[in-house]
């Protein structure tokens, strides 16, 4: 009866309190205000009123209540049908996320049946994770996908000339925005898939003494995913090199020619994929740091006297991670530096979030800083890391040049 709602209206969260009965609140609201249902109700009531008010239709007044009843019954049936039915998401990304959501919900329901209140920490975490996916992550990804589709249409219009011919630099900025959003969406879906496998491992584990802490960390990683998407949605994501907050200087890196500005955006993508190192295969950052990657590539499989060839993709990925970790370590403050000093905060953020993979919430609470301050410090920390990597590449090229001479 009713048309299919889009992914955004289907999954976006709201403050309605009917979720436990009907599902997402905005979905209920959409059902109540659906044009077809409202039209059906108004037409039936209008006809019933006309029969009652027009004298020439007095013989048909017995049908007035029937028409009104049919209209009200049809409207209520349509509202309930739309409110309790969740159509299949139309995009592959949303379908993958929905599969993870349904799996988590299924595990949660199974554990609820087998336990008595109060539920175990893992069961409570499953319930919170399902709610978080349903009301926050999936609506955010759906909205981001919708914006991404609109941006793709606009880019196509610019490229075929139907919207004029803007400066090439401006079009390139839009393309970079499109690429960053695509990377964020893919990373979110990948994290959700990883969360599903981690969940299965936890449920199969017999380490009852550690499963609660593991479940909490697992839930925090899901929350971090939402924050990353939210930053992209607000235009303040730290992947956006166009932002005025990036603080990336454009000074050249001497003989190397690579600048921190060139490194900044690929570096952030690499940091998000730092663990395990194989995630860095085909990493753009490796192309900007050829000397560092070449000198740090491990050739353990090479036989004595065997001519070395170029690094394999896995070796390049391992070398990229090694270069990043080495650069982070050069930023370690001395023992005389206060833990509240910006340099110490920057090192702690890079080391704990990216190298060690700890949850963001855990880090900013340990550092005793606000969440908003955490993200400002993180941008500054990555800026400093980009400068350090550019300098390392410059020194590597200078050193290699002197050896060749």
Closest CA to 367 of 338, 334, 351, 345: 345
In this predicted structure, what is the pLDDT of residue 254?
41
Q: How many CA atoms within 13 Å lie on the side-chain side of 69?
A: 5
Q: 80 in helix, strand or coil? A: helix
User: pTM for the full model?
Assistant: 0.44
pLDDT for residue 210: 59
Q: CB count, 10 Å around CB of 54?
A: 11
- Please tell me the number of Cα atoms within 13 Å of 109 on its side-chain side: 6
Instruction: Quote the pLDDT of residue 101.
Output: 85
Print the SS3 string covering 7-60: HHHHHCCCCCCCHHHHCCHHHHHHHHCCHHHHHHHHHHHHHHHHHHHCHHHHHH
Q: What pLDDT is attached to residue 245?
A: 42
Q: What is d(CA 224, CA 110) in angstroms, rounded to the nearest whole number? A: 26
pLDDT for res 213: 62
Sequential DSSP letters for 164-202: B---HHHHHHHHHHHHHHHHHHHHHHHHHHHHHHHHHHH
Looking at residue 328, what is its pLDDT?
93
pLDDT confidence of residue 221 = 64
Token representation of residue 293: 């990657």
**Residue whose C-alpha is closest to residue 195's, from 97, 271, 279:** 97
Position 107 scores a pLDDT of 87
Spatial contact of 89 and 10, defined as CB atoms under 8 Å apart: yes
- A 10 A CB-CB count for 293 gives 24
Rounded to 5°, the CA angle 24-28-34 comes to 135
Ranges of the chain whose pLDDT falls below 50 = 1-24, 236-256, 299-307
Q: Which long-range contacts (CB under 8 A, 24 or more apart) does 237-246 make?
A: 237/180, 237/184, 238/268, 238/375, 238/378, 238/379, 238/382, 239/180, 239/183, 239/184, 239/265, 239/268, 239/269, 240/177, 240/180, 241/176, 241/265, 242/173, 242/176, 242/177, 245/376, 245/379, 246/379, 246/383
Give which of 222, 224, 201, 196 is closest to 99, Cα–Cα.
Answer: 196
């Amino acid at each position: 009866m009713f048309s299919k709602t889009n992914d955004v209206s289907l999954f976006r969260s709201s403050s309605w309190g009917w979720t436990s009965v009907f599902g997402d609140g905005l979905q209920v609201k959409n059902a109540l205000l659906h044009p077809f249902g409202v039209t059906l109700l108004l037409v039936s009531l209008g006809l019933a009123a006309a029969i009652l008010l027009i004298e020439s239709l007095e013989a048909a007044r017995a049908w007035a209540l029937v028409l009104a009843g049919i209209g009200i019954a049809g409207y209520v049936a349509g509202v309930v049908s739309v409110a309790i039915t969740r159509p299949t998401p139309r995009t592959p990304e949303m379908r993958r996320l929905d599969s993870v959501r349904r799996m988590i919900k299924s595990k949660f329901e199974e554990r609820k049946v087998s336990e008595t209140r109060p539920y175990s920490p893992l069961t409570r975490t499953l319930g919170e994770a399902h709610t978080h996916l349903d009301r926050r992550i999936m609506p955010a990804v759906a909205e981001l996908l919708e914006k991404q589709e609109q941006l793709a249409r606009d880019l196509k219009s610019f490229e075929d000339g139907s919207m004029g011919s803007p400066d090439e630099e401006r079009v390139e900025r839009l393309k970079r925005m499109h690429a960053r959003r695509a990377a964020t969406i893919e990373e979110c879906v990948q994290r959700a898939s990883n969360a599903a496998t981690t969940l299965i491992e936890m449920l199969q584990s017999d380490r009852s003494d550690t499963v609660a802490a593991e479940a909490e960390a697992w839930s925090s990683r899901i929350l971090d995913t939402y924050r990353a998407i939210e930053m992209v949605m607000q235009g303040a994501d730290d992947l956006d090199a166009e932002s005025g907050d990036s603080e990336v200087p454009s000074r050249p890196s001497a003989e190397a020619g690579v600048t921190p500005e060139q490194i900044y955006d690929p570096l952030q993508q690499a940091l998000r994929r730092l663990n395990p190192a194989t995630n860095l295969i085909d990493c753009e950052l490796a192309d900007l740091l050829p000397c560092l990657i070449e000198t740090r590539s491990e050739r353990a499989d090479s036989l004595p006297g065997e001519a070395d060839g170029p690094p394999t993709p896995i070796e390049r990925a391992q070398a990229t991670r090694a270069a990043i970790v080495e650069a982070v370590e050069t930023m370690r403050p001395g023992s005389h530096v206060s833990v509240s000093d910006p340099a110490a905060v920057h090192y702690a953020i890079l080391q704990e979030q990216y190298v060690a993979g700890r949850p963001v919430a855990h880090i900013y609470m340990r550092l005793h800083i606000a969440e908003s301050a955490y993200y400002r410090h993180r941008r500054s920390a990555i800026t400093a890391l980009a400068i350090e990597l550019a300098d390392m590449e410059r020194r590597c090229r200078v050193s290699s040049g002197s050896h060749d001479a």
